[in-house]
Structure 1
Amino acid sequence: MNLPAAVLWDMDGTLVDTEPYWMATEEAIAAEHGGTWTHEDAMQLVGNDLLVSGEYIRSKLGLTQSAEEVVEMLLDGVVDQVRHAVPWCAGARELLLALHGAGVPCGLVTMSYQRFVAPILEHLPPETFRVIVTGDMVDNGKPHPEAYLTAAAALGVDPADCVAVEDSPTGATSAAAAGCTVLVVPNHVPVPPGPGRVFRETLEGVTPQELGSLRRP
């Protein structure tokens, strides 16, 4: 059976559509501090390392808090929303469970922090993700390849034999730089074509075998 050695998943906008949660929290922080926050500002942050986002918000709104403190403010707001409802992306949970059933190891590679990931994982069977790499575990966030290289190494597989699933230019750049074939399912921001990128409009109907047939262009 033609299956990938492993599938490495981004989370926000790929597995779960939490980007609206982040955007709502960003707007709430701006309103609380008397600042202006635009849709364009929100789009600048999609897929970023959280500290990069925290610094952007701190600078844009003129906050006295550090970037690290802004990140904690963001996480407080988003985690509270996730605990009420997990907004799975179309076809994502089904594909993830199919991979689990087929014995294909999966890794989660996200720039979100562990305390945000935990309430989402509670809605999946144990060991659905054999490896979890979060933004607070790496020195270099996406678009640097460190997070994907770390996940592949932890799984004991060659990144070239892995498929990464991403939704943003930042994430796709990170995964391709690590050597993965990247299945790109754009969500809130457009993703340009590039080496190693294969595009689908949705994960609905995608099978483990289809992922195994993908090859870097």
Structure 2
Amino acid sequence: MSLPAAVLWDMDGTLVDTEPYWIAAEHAIVEEHGGTWNDEFAHQLVGNDLMVSAEFIRANSPIDWEPERIVDELLVRVVAQVREHVPWRPGARELLAALGDAGVPSALVTMSWRVLADAVVEALPDGAFAAVVTGDEVSHGKPHPEPYEAAARMLGVDPARCVAIEDSPTGVRSAVAAGVPTLAVPHVVPVPETAGAVQVSGLDGMTPQGLAEAVASLVVG
């Protein structure tokens, strides 16, 4: 079975287990303003464009900052934690390295902004990602297909010949809408069964060939 032309990776919750960092940052800034936050609210933000999340935080807390400032405050806290410790998801780095060894390029497709994506990428060997698409560099965030379409275009590959790896419903919808066969790896929130995606419990032990086999039923031609 042929390997994908490229693998398009989500970041938060897929490559790195940063969702707890985001949730802690949300709790902190809301509580510093005299409000209360809860995990139900936090889980609604998983996978979202950060500006969408900021608008939600503003609407559900006493914070009256502009959304851009809310995003900046969240990023400062999350980036600081990532620079102290990158919480890799089990099997993710190993699969990323194996894909590179097999000659399969990878792209990072994240709704986090460039400053956080850079902090993660800098902790990997040079060239681990051939392209990086971030939430502050696209016109439409996930679940719109633009981020995945942009990644495939940057790599010069047909989206239908790629594989996306995602952990959130929002991200899965984005990848599927872009025509990318998608491997859903639910983590913090459940991912509903979605046409165009298959689910696995984790990436630990996953190989490039195993990845191709997992999505074989989604690939046409």
Shorter-chain TM range is over 0.9
Secondary structure of the residue aligned to 1:37 is: coil
- Looking at structure 1, the residues matched to 70 and 53 of structure 2 have their Cα atoms a distance apart, in angstroms, of 9
Gaps in structure 1 of 5+ consecutive residues:
none
Secondary structure of the residue aligned to 2:107 is: strand
* 1:112-161 C-alpha deviation (Å, 9 max, x unpaired): 00101111111111111001000011000000000000000110100000
Gaps in structure 2 of 5+ consecutive residues:
none
- Looking at structure 2, the residues matched to 41 and 138 of structure 1 have their Cα atoms a distance apart, in angstroms, of 25
Q: For residue 173 of structure 1, what is the aligned residue in structure 2?
A: 173
Secondary structure of the residue aligned to 1:125 is: coil
- 1:211 offset after TM fit, Å? 1.9
Q: For residue 55 of structure 1, what is the aligned residue in structure 2?
A: 55
The count of residues paired between Structure 1 and Structure 2 equals 217
Task: Give the partner amino acid of 1:102.
Answer: A
> Is the CA contact 2:30–2:62 (under 8 Å) kept in the aligned structure 1?
no
Q: For residue 71 of structure 1, what is the aligned residue in structure 2?
A: 71
* 1:53-98 C-alpha deviation (Å, 9 max, x unpaired): 0111111113221011100010011011101100000100100011
TM-score (normalised: structure 2): 0.96
Secondary structure of the residue aligned to 1:48 is: coil
Q: CA RMSD in A?
A: 1.0
- Looking at structure 1, the residues matched to 212 and 31 of structure 2 have their Cα atoms a distance apart, in angstroms, of 46
- Looking at structure 2, the residues matched to 122 and 156 of structure 1 have their Cα atoms a distance apart, in angstroms, of 24
Q: For residue 101 of structure 2, what is the aligned residue in structure 1?
A: 101
- Looking at structure 2, the residues matched to 103 and 123 of structure 1 have their Cα atoms a distance apart, in angstroms, of 21
Task: Give the partner amino acid of 1:115.
Answer: V
- Looking at structure 1, the residues matched to 162 and 197 of structure 2 have their Cα atoms a distance apart, in angstroms, of 13
| Structure 1 moving runs of 4+ over 3 Å | none
Q: For residue 29 of structure 2, what is the aligned residue in structure 1?
A: 29
TM-score (normalised: structure 1): 0.98
- 1:212 offset after TM fit, Å? 2.2
Secondary structure of the residue aligned to 2:204 is: coil
Q: For residue 80 of structure 1, what is the aligned residue in structure 2?
A: 80
Q: For residue 151 of structure 2, what is the aligned residue in structure 1?
A: 151
- Looking at structure 1, the residues matched to 82 and 37 of structure 2 have their Cα atoms a distance apart, in angstroms, of 22
